[in-house]
Structure 1
């Protein structure tokens, strides 16, 4: 009651869904920062500086994976558990809130939604929310448990870890992978396992699973149970675009780095294919790396920039503008090039409002990345290639880095903090706010066409 009263005074419209999401993530990041600043959270027993603690907390709760300090070297077990908790909280929070907002938007327009059998009302009732929360938690825990057991078994049998350490490392990396966080308990991330398929493949599968999104998994499950015979447009777009980007990313990165002696050049053909596949998956958006990103070719970094910016599926743990946004814009361009008066996708007409929302999310995201890159260039001595990569990685909540993050000053770290936070909550809140604010005009002004191009 007291908190609600204070919020009503400070923010009269705090009950709006978009504001609740922002406040929730800000509160989680603040609590995480305080916990990580405690002496017990560091290996040295000394308090961690506020900027380093804030950066790590935001990176964890926004499931990014960028780091300014060595995760296993700086943080104690308590600090690592705090980071793990923030990752889990952030991943569940994003999947739950994004799904609920999608449900709310769909109910707002009285449309049938894949999460419910029939959308008969325009309100989101408590039963729907409970089903969504239970579903998200169940999907997350099932994937995390399976991957954790596979990784623990490999650590136990292949690397002579004792049982407790194997389970701890298995759980940590499974949660980090499914939530697309990219935090690892090794100084070189996963470079020590570059040719180990029993480590790289389960983590890759977890990253892809988390990046698809809860609505997709629910509909696929219902399809298997034959309660739904036809895939929705959202599932078709998500699965198809993710598959195409995955194949293209793996192929381009593997080919570009095949003879690079600093990356794939020294491995066998099998090792090259495994490492190429792993690094084709990670821009989906998880920050794990089994190769030195700083030694990759310029073309590889550019392709990775593009894949990171696009990101994964809506209502999933991946970041970026989302594959649905990218695909819808591609369909709009295709229709315009063909001179068609409307946009059709998989036998359905795409509303003009959805087209404008996709364009708005994409262009504002471009503006955020460009602004962040300019600020980082001003605050650091590094080349634009590395700075752009860092900015895209932060905004798309990926966590991949060419290695310059720890070398940036505090001001640059704060710029990355803002980019991570905007990239995590921005696209979701913006898209839902645009949809919920839609209204009809009572009149139209005379039409006039400016010159384009």
Structure 2
């Protein structure tokens, strides 16, 4: 136990595994299913991983299959996963020792985006306050619309408002109702969409914007991380919106007899939700092959760093674009907004992208081997699982357990991050004593 506690990466890994086993056990119990029978291990395990990773891919209908107890287990798992493994690991360490080890602070600072070790404890408090504040606002915004839809049923409306508020901010696409996202109701759908968008920005961005706003400072005073996150996020949302409007506007299968309002709503959902949220999956099977491929790229990128989203993160994409721009223009430095990127940041971005790309490639090969699905469907499902997008085309099949475990591994790594998993299973290396001379090679 001392070894695990002294290694924050392994503590994070152990914490996550314990929660998965606990949630799987609870979901497998008869009290969790409406049939009153034991749920098979594969279904319970996959649902637990999907909830704790805040992915939201469901292989059974959440409202029809799970009881309120089962739904409560899923909701708590979503909340614990959304708050972040390292956040809770730090809180556990603080409770035991009343202080955080330096190694723990370093990893937690990286997870939450804190620039100084002294900020970590305050950032953890801000994470908790921010999370519950946004969820409370979303709950209050959702309640009137749900009361109207549920014909004044206060009990159902309160439960659905709570579930949607937690699931939307934490970007987990589980829904407590058979109708899903109530696609025809802007009063319910819009608060969910806005909450999901805020959740993809990340705690460091929300904290920085809040502090600047409190000091009456505009976007010019935002730090570089916040600027890159906002610019890249808004660019991806705009690009997705334009793509969907242009490519799918005349899709008769998807928009048969639909008015302009319905088309605009579907476009907004397609622009925001696939990056991590995964709500309202009813329209996904009807989109074109081009859109599936496009959305695979969107889910692979995911949301902001230290957010409830997954993927390689938007700042990683921004760094890669800046590196490519510098190389094409033959610039020595990767400068943006009057700041220069650190070499270590560039190296980490390339390593993350290469590692995640290799994972997606290998998982796609395995699923192509064990299923009869098309490459487009496989690639979309793999990227959705890794990027915690929550959208599914049915590749996750309970009749084929191999698909469940491949996607579960992707969700697990996608939530923790490949670098955290690698750090957890690797042995600490001593500092490099010798730095070898450099020599140029030809690339490209």
Q: TM > 0.5 between the two?
A: yes
Is 1:251 aligned to residue 253 of structure 2? no
Equivalent pairs, count: 428
Query: Does the CA-based 8 Å contact 2:275-2:387 persist in structure 1?
Result: no
1:330-378 CA distance string (max 9 Å, x none): 1001001111122112212212111110000011101111111111111
1:26-45 equivalences under 5 Å are 26-45=17-36
Farther-moved stretch of structure 1 (365-374 vs 12-21):
12-21
Name the CA distance, whole Å, in 2 between partners of 1:27 and 1:237.
35
Name the CA distance, whole Å, in 2 between partners of 1:420 and 1:46.
27
Name the CA distance, whole Å, in 1 between partners of 2:338 and 2:313.
22
Kindly state the Cα deviation for residue 96 of structure 1 after the two structures are TM-superposed: 3.0
1:53 alignment partner in structure 2: 44
Farther-moved stretch of structure 1 (269-278 vs 321-330):
269-278
Q: Quickly say closer, same or farther: Cα 1:105–1:63, change in 2 above 3 A.
A: closer
Is 1:74 aligned to residue 84 of structure 2? no
Kindly state the Cα deviation for residue 301 of structure 1 after the two structures are TM-superposed: 0.8
Q: Quickly say closer, same or farther: Cα 1:107–1:307, change in 2 above 3 A.
A: closer
1:291-370 equivalences under 5 Å are 291-370=282-361
Farther-moved stretch of structure 1 (314-323 vs 224-233):
224-233
- Counterpart of 1:134 (choices 100, 125, 129) is 125
1:169 alignment partner in structure 2: 160
Q: Quickly say closer, same or farther: Cα 1:146–1:63, change in 2 above 3 A.
A: same
Is 1:219 aligned to residue 208 of structure 2? yes
Farther-moved stretch of structure 1 (150-159 vs 364-373):
150-159
Kindly state the Cα deviation for residue 21 of structure 1 after the two structures are TM-superposed: 1.8
SS in 2 for 1:262: helix
Unaligned runs of 5+ in 2: 92-102
1:184 alignment partner in structure 2: 175
Name the CA distance, whole Å, in 1 between partners of 2:185 and 2:18.
39
Farther-moved stretch of structure 1 (298-307 vs 151-160):
151-160
Q: Quickly say closer, same or farther: Cα 1:203–1:446, change in 2 above 3 A.
A: closer
* Structural RMSD (CA): 2.7
Name the CA distance, whole Å, in 1 between partners of 2:381 and 2:340.
38
After TM superposition, the score normalised by the length of structure 1 is: 0.88
Name the CA distance, whole Å, in 1 between partners of 2:49 and 2:238.
31
- Counterpart of 1:236 (choices 195, 215, 227) is 227
Kindly state the Cα deviation for residue 141 of structure 1 after the two structures are TM-superposed: 0.9
Kindly state the Cα deviation for residue 380 of structure 1 after the two structures are TM-superposed: 1.1
Query: Does the CA-based 8 Å contact 1:369-1:391 persist in structure 2?
Result: yes
1:387 alignment partner in structure 2: 378
1:253-268 equivalences under 5 Å are 253-268=244-259
After TM superposition, the score normalised by the length of structure 2 is: 0.89
SS in 2 for 1:185: coil
1:396 alignment partner in structure 2: 387
